Amino acid sequence: MPDVILETRDLTKEFKGFTAVNQVSLQVQRGHIHALIGPNGAGKTTCFNLLTKFLSPSAGRILFNGTDITSLKPAQIARMGIIRSFQISAVFPHLTVLENVRVGLQRALGTSFHFWRSEKTLNQLDDRAMALLAEVDLEQFADTITADLPYGRKRALEIATTLGMEPELMLLDEPTQGMGHEDVHRVTALIKKVASGRTILMVEHNMNVVSGICDRISVLQRGAVLAEGSYADVSRNPQVIEAYMGSADNNLAGAHG
């Protein structure tokens, strides 16, 4: 049996009679980069919100390392090692890049609200913060005000702050959305780099990204799993091609749906 870090069993979410996620059973293997893909409206983001406990399921179960986490709150699963990086860059724009990572590290220390402490007490975190910036190729931007960073670099900073929480499982929501080609390439390479020794589950539209770095892909359509396997497997699946392109005569490789 594969080493499964995250599993869902018949995960379902209904909104006033509309079934957004319909009996989804996933198995994410430890050490994999696993992608959730599918056309718009397929239920990817709703599924992600269930996994990170921002929504409660109508039915089904979620297990992390074999433990049922279905009823837990977002903060509880974060402490267990499931950390989500948000679709919109969740950084403090008027702090420097180094200060942003330090805030993330401070949160991990549990001293986030010790406002009376001298800022110097945070200097102990600088070495760790710089190491994280080096991991995402941002050390040269340490003193840059975050608002002045290019968009792709902000996503790299967000990944650095996520790494500061020491995730066992990283959930990336549309990590390359809205990026130009150069940023997409840089962030894709970064995801592959930080995946070493970690597990990543990502929602992604860009098929070039998915084909380049993902070990396994789950395709959703109308809230249900349509197909699963390697990119080579799912890209040749006539049902998947039809879901994306409306016709099985087209090639999925060009689809960015």
pLDDT at position 115, please? Answer: 53
Distance from C-alpha of 155 to C-alpha of 38, rounded to nearest angstrom: 22
- Side by side, the strands of the sheet bearing 216-221 are 82-85, 169-173, 199-203, 33-37, 216-221, 224-229
The token pair that represents 169 in the structure block: 């499982």
Give Cβ neighbours of residue 134 (< 8 Å, ≥ 6 apart). Answer: none
pLDDT at position 65, please? Answer: 96
Distance from C-alpha of 62 to C-alpha of 103, rounded to nearest angstrom: 30
**CB contact at 8 A, 257 and 57:** no
pLDDT at position 108, please? Answer: 61
Walk along the chain (257 residues) and give the pLDDT tens digit of each residue.
Answer: 569 999 999 999 999 989 999 999 999 999 999 999 998 889 999 999 999 999 999 999 999 999 999 999 988 998 899 998 865 566 788 999 999 888 878 766 655 555 555 566 667 788 899 999 999 999 999 999 999 998 889 989 999 988 888 899 999 988 998 888 889 999 999 999 999 989 999 999 888 899 999 999 999 999 999 999 999 999 899 998 888 766 444 455 544 44
pLDDT at position 117, please? Answer: 55
- Domains of the chain, start order: 1-81+168-257 (3.40.50.300), 90-166 (no CATH)
Tracing tokens 């091609």 back to the chain, one arrives at 241
* Residue 216: Cβ-neighbour burial (10 angstroms; 0-12, 13-18, 19+): buried
| Residues composing the chain | 257
Q: Hey, which residues does 18 pair with through a beta bridge? A: 15
pLDDT at position 35, please? Answer: 96
pLDDT at position 119, please? Answer: 60
